[in-house]
Structure 1
Amino acid sequence: MAAGPIRGRVLRIESDYESDVVRVAFGSCVSQRKNQDVWEHIAEKDPHLFIMMGDGVYPEHEPGALSTLDAIRSAYRHAGKCVELNRFREQIPVAAIWDDNDYGGMDIGRTFAHKFESRDLFLDFWTSGAEASIRRRDSGIYASWELGMPERRIQIIAPDLRFSRSEWAMAGLKTIIARQLRGMGPFEATRDSGATMLGETQWAWLEDCLRRPAKLRLFVSSIQVIPGERGWECWSNFPAEQERLLRLISQPRVGPVIVLSGDAHYAEISRKDGDEGIGALWEITSSGLTEHWPTPGPNSFRIGPAYPQPNFGILTVDWRPASPQLTVGIHGADGRRLRREFLLLESLMHSPSGGSASRTARSPQRFMA
C-alpha cells in the first residue's frame, strides 16, 4: 500500500478501497535511540494507515536548550537506519505531523530560528514527491488525507501546531514548584487575546478542509485538545483558540469527528459533553511509542484509567452495519490490548441545537487486559 495521486491539495491514500472494515493505527513520541520492536507489533494489526502524531525523532541537546540543525539531521539519519521502521514503511502508508521535539525543541513555537530548515528535514524524511511539494509552505506542514471511496470516506486532518503558534503563558513560581511535585507542567491559560495556535492562514485551510465531504473525520492534534488541567502543552492554554476549534468541528455540517492526540507520554480516552451548541466529542490520546510518563496528570474529562506505559492506538471502522460501528483500541507497545471502546457512527453526529443527534445505541463497553 502506498500514498496515491494528489488531487488538489488533498492527499489520497490509495489503500484497499473495497474493504468493509478499515483500520487506522496511530501513535506518537518515538526515540530513534530506543528499542523499535513496536513497529512490528503495529504491523501485526494490519492497519490500512498509520498516523504519526508528532515527536517522530528526538534530537540530542543540552537540558533546556533548543536543538541544533546538526542534531536534527543526526536524529533523522539514525531513524533512517532503523530496520524495523523501514520495513514498516514498506508495508504501511504513514501520514505524519510533527511536535516540539522533531520541530526544534521542548515546547517551542513560531520563534524557532531554524523552522524552515527543520521543515525541509521533516518532509525529506516522512514524505516524497507531490506530498512534499504541497506541504513545503511558508505557513507550516499541515496536511489533510482522504482514505476510502466517497460513500465511506475517512478524512484525516493534521494541523501544524508549531510553525505559527504564539508562546505559552507561564504560571507563577510558587505554582510551578507546587505542580512539579505532582508531575505537572508550568503553563497556564493565556490572557493574551491575540495568542494563536494556527495563524489565520491555517485556520482558513482548516475551514476549507471541513467543507469537503466525509463520513468520518479524524482531527489529529500533536497536543491534547480537551484535557487542560496538567499544566503542559494543550489547546486550553489558549482558551479562545480552543473554543474556536471546538465550535468549528462541532458544526452539524461537519459530521462525525474524533480527535486523536499525542504528546502526553501516556494513553487515555477523554469525552467532552456538548454545551452551548458544542456536541459531545471523544479524544483518544496515544503516547508514546517508546516514551512514557509515570504520573498521568489530572483530567476531569477522562473516561476510565490512563495507561502510563509505551502504547499505540487502533481505530477500526466497520462499515457493514446500517449504523457503522467504531472500535477504539489502546495497545501496549508489545501489541497487548489494554483498552477497547465501541461507538456507533451516528452517536458522533451533531444537531443544529447542539449536542449529539443521538447517544450511543448501547453503552460503550470497556475491556481491560
Structure 2
Amino acid sequence: MGTVVVVLRWLLVVGGVMMMAVLLACSGSEVALVTRIAFGSCANQSAPQPIWDAIINFDPQIFIWLGDNIYGDNRHPFKLFGKERTVGPWKNVPRFVPSSEHEMQSRYKKAKNNPGYSRLQEKTKVIGTWDDHDYGLNDAGKEFGGKINNQRLLLDFLDEPQDSPRRKQAGVYASYTFGPVGRQIKVILLDTRYHRDPLFSDGSILGSLQWTWLEKELTGPPSAITIIGSSIQVISNLSATTGPLFYMESWGRFPKERTRLFKLISDSKRGGVFFISGDVHFGEVTRYDCASVYPLYDITSSGLTQAVEKAVPLPLHFIVRFAACLTPTTMRVMDKSCRYRSCTYGQPNFGAIEINWDATPVTLKFDVRDANGLPVTSVNISLLELQARKIDPTAIMKAGKCQKHCCLEVNLPWLVRYRLAILFFCSLAVFLLALIGGGYAVISVLVRCFHKCKLE
C-alpha cells in the first residue's frame, strides 16, 4: 500500500511539473523578455500599405494599434459651394456620416486580410484601442449611438477572446503585462471615445468608471516600464495653436482632464511611465518636464497610410514643412536626430520602442520611423530618468519666462500662439489685394483702349 502511495505521489509531482511546463509554453509570449515594441495608427484599409514590410523587418514582439485602424465612417466630398455644402460657415450637410454594420465588417475584413498585416500577425502579439474613425464617426464622443455595436467589431478585429472582460464593459480600455518579474512592461490602453464629453466643454475624456480603473492600474503592482497608449496626443498642445484655421483633438483641449492625469501619475509614484499616441497624421516626440514627477514623453506616430504631406501635391510639401516650423515648439523634442528642422514628419510612419535590459542602467530608445524603417526623429534615455522624484514646476517656471518643455502652448503670448493664423490671413490679404489691384489694372487698360478706339 505504501508503495502505491509513493507511486501516486510521484505521478502527481511529475504531472504537476508537466502541467507547469505546458502552461509556461502556452504563455511564453507573456513571460519572454520584451525588447522591441512597434505601434501605429491611421491606416486606411483601401490605401496601399507597404509600411508593413518595414514594421516586420523591425521584428517587434508586440504591435499596438492606437486607433483609426480602419476608416469606417463615410466622408462626403469637400464642397464650399453648391446645394450640399460640407465646409464653411454656411455648410448644410455633415462631412462625415456613420456607415452600416455591413460596411464596417467589410472594411475590417479588408484590413485584416492585408498581406503585410497578415504576416505581422503570424509572429507578433497584436493589441490595440480605437479612435474616432473606427469608433464610427469623425471627432465623435459619448453621444455616438453606434458605439456598442462597433465595440464588438473592433474586438473581433483584434481577436479578443469571447469571454474577455473587454466584451462586457462600456469601452475598450485594457491593460497587459509582458515579460518576467523585475523586467515587466505594463501596457495601458485608454479609450478616449466611449465616455468623452463634447469638444470645447472641458469635461471628461475617460468617464468616471475608466478613471477608477486607471487609478487601480497605476497604483497596482509595480512594473519596470509602463506604457500608456492614448489615441489622441497627451502632451503636444498644437490644437491650441492651429486655431482658428483648424482644430486638432488632444488632451490639451480638456485641460482639467490632462491635469488630473498628470497628478494621478505623480501621486502613484510609479516609475517608467511614458505615453504613445496617434491621430494627427504626422509623427513627433514631445516632452513635459513640469508634471511634478519626472519628464513625461509622448511619442506620436501617425499614420501608417494617412499623412499630412500626402494630402497635398508633391510641389507643395515645402509649405507643409514651413508651416510645421512656425508652430510653437515648446514641448517638442528638437535635436540633431530629426530629419527635418521642425522635428515633425508628415509622411507615413510607425513608432518603435527598443529596450536594452543588459545596459547599466537600462536604456530606452524611442523612434518615429519612415516607410523604409529608417528613424526620422529619435530619443535615447536611461530608465533612471523616469524614476519618481520631486519636481517643483514653480521653480522651473521662474528660471525662464517660458521654459523649454514646461510652457504649454496655451500659455504662450497670443502673437506667438496665433502666428500661423496671422501669417495665413496676412498672406490671404496680400493675395486679395494683389488680385484686386491686378483686376483694377486690367480694367483700366481696357477702358483706355476703349476710349482710344472710340476717338479714332
Partner of 2:119: 87
Distance 1:324 1:354, change over 3 A: farther
Q: d(CA) in 2 for partners of 1:200 and 1:14?
A: 35
Q: 1:16 to 1:205 in 2, by over 3 A?
A: closer
The equivalences for 1:1-369 within 5 A come to 14-15=28-29, 17-19=31-33, 22-63=35-76, 64-68=95-99, 69-129=101-161, 133-169=164-200, 190=201, 192=202, 195-210=203-218, 211-230=220-239, 231-251=247-267, 253-274=269-290, 277-294=292-309, 295=320, 296=324, 298-304=328-334, 305-352=343-390
- Write the distance in 2 (CA, Å) between the matches of 1:200 and 1:324: 36
For residues 312 and 329 of structure 1, the distance between their equivalents in structure 2, rounded to whole angstroms, comes to: 8
Residue aligned with 1:250, SS = helix
1:352 to partner: Cα distance: 4.1
- Quote the offset at 1:16 in angstroms: 7.5
Give the aligned residue type for 1:79: A
- The whole-number CA distance in structure 2 between the counterparts of 1:16 and 1:40 is 25
Alpha-carbon shift at residue 36 of structure 1 (Å): 1.9
* SS at 1:119 equivalent: helix
Quick one: structure 1 residues 74 and 157, their matched pair in 2 at CA, closer, same or farther if it must change by over 3 Å? Answer: same
How far off is 1:17 after superposition?
A: 4.0
1:78 CA displacement: 1.6
Tell me, in whole angstroms, the C-alpha distance in 1 between the residues paired with 2:138 and 2:28.
35
Which residues of structure 2 form unaligned runs of 5+? 1-21, 77-94, 240-246, 310-319, 335-342, 394-456
Percent identity over paired residues: 34
Distance 1:84 1:274, change over 3 A: same
The higher-RCO structure (CA 8 Å, 6+ apart) is 1
**Partners of 1:252 and 1:352 within 8 A in 2:** no
SS at structure 2 position matched to 1:150: coil
> Which is helix-richer, 1 or 2?
2
318 and 291 in structure 1: CA distance in 2 versus 1, 3 angstrom threshold: same
State the Cα deviation string for residues 45-85 of structure 1 (Å, max 9, x = none): 11110111111001251332232233322211221331221
| Superposed displacement of residue 95, structure 1 | 1.0
Task: For 1:127 and 1:89, locate their aligned partners in 2 and report how far apart those are by CA, in whole Å.
Answer: 11
Residues 84 and 229 from structure 1, CA distance in 2 versus in 1: closer, same or farther, beyond 3 angstroms? closer
Give the structure 1 partner of residue 439 of structure 2. none
What TM-score does the superposition give when structure 1 sets the normalisation length?
Answer: 0.82
Deviations 1:303-358 (A, max 9, x none): 12101110011111111123100011221022122222210001011214558xxx
Q: Is the 8 A contact 1:103 1:118 kept in 2?
A: yes
- Structure 1 pair 13/285, CA: closer, same or farther in 2 (3 Å)? farther
Q: Which amino acid aligns with 2:383?
A: L
Select between 28-37 and 75-84 the one with higher mean Cα deviation: 75-84
Distance 1:352 1:278, change over 3 A: closer
* Contact map agreement 1:279 1:354 (CA 8 A) in 2: no
Deviates more, 1:345-354 or 1:287-296: 345-354
Looking at CA atoms only, which structure, 1 or 2, has the larger radius of gyration?
A: 2
Tell me the amino acid that sits aligned with residue 213 of structure 2: W
Q: Distance in 2 between matches of 1:155 and 1:143?
A: 11
Change (3 A) 1:49 1:13: farther
* 8 Å Cα contact 1:252/1:351 also seen in 2: no
Cα distance change of structure 1 residues 261 and 14 upon mapping to structure 2, 3 Å threshold: farther
Shift in alpha-carbon separation, 1:224–1:108, aligned structure 2, 3 A? same
What amino acid is the match of 1:302?
R
CA contact (8 A) 2:73 2:138 kept: no
Q: Counterpart of 1:186? A: none
- Give the partner amino acid of 2:224: K
Asked if structure 2 preserves the Cα contact closer than 8 Å seen for 1:49 and 1:93, the reply is: yes
Distance 1:332 1:23 in 2: 17
Give the AA of the match of 2:294.
Answer: G
Q: How far apart are 1:88 and its partner, in Å?
A: 1.2
Return the structure number with greater strand share: 1
The letter of the residue matching 1:140 is G
Q: Helix, strand or coil: the match of 1:254?
A: coil
Distance change (3 Å), C-alpha of 1:299 and 1:55: farther
- For residues 114 and 105 of structure 1, what CA distance do their matches in structure 2 show? 9
Question: Is the Cα–Cα contact under 8 Å of residues 13 and 147 in structure 1 kept in the other structure?
Answer: no
- Residue 254 of structure 2 aligns with an amino acid whose one-letter code is F
Supply the distance in 2 between the matched residues of 1:318 and 1:198 (Cα, whole angstroms). Answer: 33
- 3-state SS of the aligned residue for 2:58? coil
Q: Distance in 2 between matches of 1:273 and 1:144?
A: 26
C-alpha contact (below 8 Å) 2:73/2:136 kept by paired residues: no
